[in-house]
Amino acid sequence: MTHLDGRVAIVTGAGRGIGRGEALALAAQGAKVVVNDLGSAWDGQGADQRPAAALAQEIVEAGGEAVANFDDVTDPDGAENMVSQALDAFGRLDILVNNAGILRDGMVFSIDPKDWSEVINMHLMGHFLPTRAASRHWRAESKAGRTSHRAVINTTSESGLFGNAGQSNYDAAKMGIVAFTVAVARETAKYGTTVNAIAPRARTRLTTTTFENSARAGEFQTAEQPFDAMDPDNIAPFVAFLATDMAADITAQTFIVCGGAVAHVKLPQVSDIVFKQGKWTVDELAQRRDELFKNLGADVYEGPRGYARLPRQ
Active site residues: 157, 170, 174
Measured in whole angstroms, how far is the alpha carbon of residue 129 from the centre of its chain?
Answer: 14
> Is the previous residue joined to 226 through a cis bond, with omega within 30 degrees of 0?
yes
Distance CA 82, CA 163 (A): 32
Distance CA 125, CA 128 (A): 5
202 contacts: CB under 8 Å, gap ≥ 6:
17, 18, 230, 231, 232, 234, 235, 258
203 within 8 A of 259, measured Cβ to Cβ: no
Exposed (0-12), middle (13-18) or buried (19+): which is 231, by Cβ within 10 Å? middle
Spatial strand order in the sheet of 261-265: 66-69, 32-36, 8-11, 95-97, 150-155, 193-201, 254-258, 261-265
3 in helix, strand or coil? Answer: coil
- Cα 132-134-137 angle, rounded to 5 deg: 105
Distance CA 19, CA 132 (A): 20
230 in helix, strand or coil? Answer: coil
